[in-house]
Chains A and B, each alone.
Chain A
Amino acid sequence: MPYQIIVLIKQMPDLELVKPDPSTGVPNVKSVPLRFETLSKHAAEAAVRLKEKYGGKVTGICLGTETAGQAMKEAFAMGVDEGVVITGYQGNNPRFTAGVLAEKIKTIPHDVVLMGNQSADSYTGMLPGMLSAMLGEPLLGNALSVELSDGSAEVLRVMEDRNEKIRGKLPAVISVTQEINEPRLPPVMQILAAGKKPMKMEKAQPGNSFSVVRSNKAPKSERKKQIYEDPSKGIPEVVKAIREAIR
């Protein structure tokens, strides 16, 4: 039975390139290139694998910036069929993001909404639950595997001290863990074909924020950073230094 699958795509700055401005301590995020966020890449892979197994169609939705089409094209190359890019991302603001995405998702018939369980750059982990609440669809969270059958989804989910197998009725929101799969490297032909897949561009209505960021700066490092390049000298000194901690 074919399934209509929605996958949420995110962009993130290349974290290795985010550096605090030396004079203000504020990160230089605006000048850093954006890429396909890690967890949503795993979600895209999971979505495409479900399509390959059961048949159906995968629609990507991305709330991002003007350059978000690039991430969507990467998702296309992996096998996502069509996409909606909504510009007007307001940074790490899960309530706003969830509101905009829920509005859009409601207009697209679907059986499953897939997403990462927490993004690699802001990792609030708030979006799956908020979307589940706003859409009124059950959340099968932190999936390590997903199987669909007879209008329901069976998910093996990862908890802190155990794994649980759970079942929920479709339509459902499913968030995936990083361990669920290894995202594919698309072949060149698919990368070329990705440019021809349908992509809609839309704009989000700006919304209010529930909170204000008072500051966002590199924390003061309180580490001693004592470096020993000669282990024969360093080891005895380190042992002396850590003796309290290991008593």
Chain B
Amino acid sequence: MAGLINAAAVEKPEDYRNIFVYLENRNGELQRPALEMIGVGKRLAEKVHEKLYCVLIGSKVSEMADEAASYGCDVILGAESPDLAEFRTMPYARLVEDFVKREKPNIFLIPATRNGRDLASRIAVSCQAGVTADCTEIDIEEDTRILSANRPTYGESMLAEILCKKHRPQMATARAGIFPVPEKVDGSKCERRIEKVKVDKALLKKEILEFRKKEAIDLTAAKVVVSGGLGLGAPAAFKLVEKLANEMNGVVGASRPTADLGWISRDHQVGQTGQTVRPRLYVACGISGKIQHIMGMKNSENVLSINIDQNAEIFKYSDYVIVDDVNKVLPALTEEIKKYKKAHVKKTVKSSS
């Protein structure tokens, strides 16, 4: 075990080439974090003139490979079996480990989802690699091909840049929801190496007994998110949040305490234990700005916050701040947007006539 802690550095880092990304999928569908990883991987690969390899494990791999290829990648390494429709820790880890040992990638990026973390932590152990977790900025140094992995620390107040100089592959998990989905590319050529595999049932150490669907509201794709916090004062005030969200074609988010108190269902929660969003506009209504919440929204393009407390922490992360009671500001803001939209629509009609 001491050997595990003090694992030897690889002798020739230059033998390790290319960028690996893991494509998260479920029931034969690529998930958004998979596409985010293709985007990041492509950028790194182009920078150092290497190839982007997508690692794809599941049940309908060939179909998913078509989609992955449409975003542009060089090689798809696939393992396919009906028994792999759901993420199963041991067989997935074993297959990914095989790919890594065979292909020796310089870099391996995995989304920091629940399953992605499970996978990444195991690969780091079995392949004796370093892993920088939950990165929000990822880059590569052109000359040294060293990964620059940046992760927030101490409750988002700091950003640490972490390098792994001696071990390969250089692994990182990337916070899901904050990297853009890349554009599709026409006529991308992509080499497919997809194997049909048999799953050794002895590897399945856990049984999945049942699935319970969550009322899933996907906040991550929304262009506008309007979130409510305890500053609303009462659950009924979420109606005001909803009205503003509707007016801007947005969705309703929430801070953790409001979900804890049952003011709104958990699936609206933004933050460390909820969803991570990156909308064009995030509106924080009566949210003080606890770090767990900041984690879920700080990469938003624009942040507007409304809070009666002029020392609210959220203001540090905001572009626009209105200091007043949210219950007064929300209706007025909704009205103002209505007014603006009307005026705007009229103008465009005039100019086109």
Residues of A within 8 A of B (CB): 13, 15, 18-20, 27, 29, 92, 94-96, 98-100, 102-103, 118, 120-130, 132-134, 138-142, 154, 156, 158-169, 177-179, 205, 207-219, 221, 223-229, 231-232, 234-236, 238-246
Contacts and interface: CB of A to CB of B under 8 A. Distances in A.
Contact of B318 (A211, A219, A223): A223
Interface in B159-208: 159-167, 173, 205-208
B36 interface: no
Nearest to B148: A214
Nearest 6 interchain pairs by C-beta:
A210-B130, A129-B121, A124-B133, A99-B5, A245-B281, A207-B5
B209 A160 contact: no
Nearest to B147: A211
A220 to B, nearest CB: 9
Nearest to A155: B206
Nearest to B32: A160
Interface of B: 1-2, 4-7, 26, 89, 93, 112-115, 117-122, 124-126, 129-134, 148, 152-155, 157-167, 173, 205-214, 216, 223-224, 248-250, 266, 272-273, 280-281, 291-292, 295, 301-304, 310, 315-324, 328-329, 332-333, 336-337, 340, 344
Contact of A238 (B112, B133, B304): B304
Given A163-B212, A223-B317, A235-B329, A27 B207 contact: no
A165 B210 contact: yes
Contact of B324 (A167, A231, A244): A231
19 contacts: A27-B157, A29-B154, A94-B133, A95-B130, A121-B154, A123-B295, A129-B122, A133-B121, A134-B4, A138-B205, A164-B209, A165-B208, A165-B212, A214-B161, A231-B332, A239-B333, A243-B340, A243-B344, A245-B301
A212 B295 CA distance: 24
Contact of A129 (B6, B120, B157, B211): B120
A232 B179 CA distance: 36
A108 B248 CA distance: 57
Contacts of A169: 205
A138 B328 CA distance: 52
Contacts, number: 265
Nearest to A38: B292
B302 A132 contact: no
Contact of A164 (B211, B223, B248): B211
Nearest to A99: B5
A134 B125 contact: yes
A216 B320 contact: no
Contacts of A231: 322, 324, 328-329, 332
A98 B125 CA distance: 10
Contacts of B7: 208, 210
Given A166-B208, A245-B301, A215 B224 contact: no
Contacts of A27: 153-154, 157-158
A129 B117 contact: yes
Contact of B154 (A15, A125, A224, A242): A15
B121 A242 contact: no
Given A27-B158, A123-B295, A211-B165, 13 more contacts: A15-B155, A27-B154, A125-B121, A161-B216, A162-B213, A164-B212, A165-B208, A179-B273, A211-B164, A216-B158, A219-B159, A227-B323, A235-B329
A234 B5 contact: no
A126 B131 contact: yes
Contact of A18 (B154, B159, B249, B337): B154
Contacts of A165: 208-212
A96 B318 CA distance: 37
Contacts of A128: 118, 121
B1 to A, nearest CB: 6
Contacts of A225: 315-316, 318-319, 321
A78 to B, nearest CB: 20
B64 to A, nearest CB: 17
Contacts of B317: 221, 223
A127 B225 CA distance: 32
A209 B5 CA distance: 8
Nearest to B282: A245
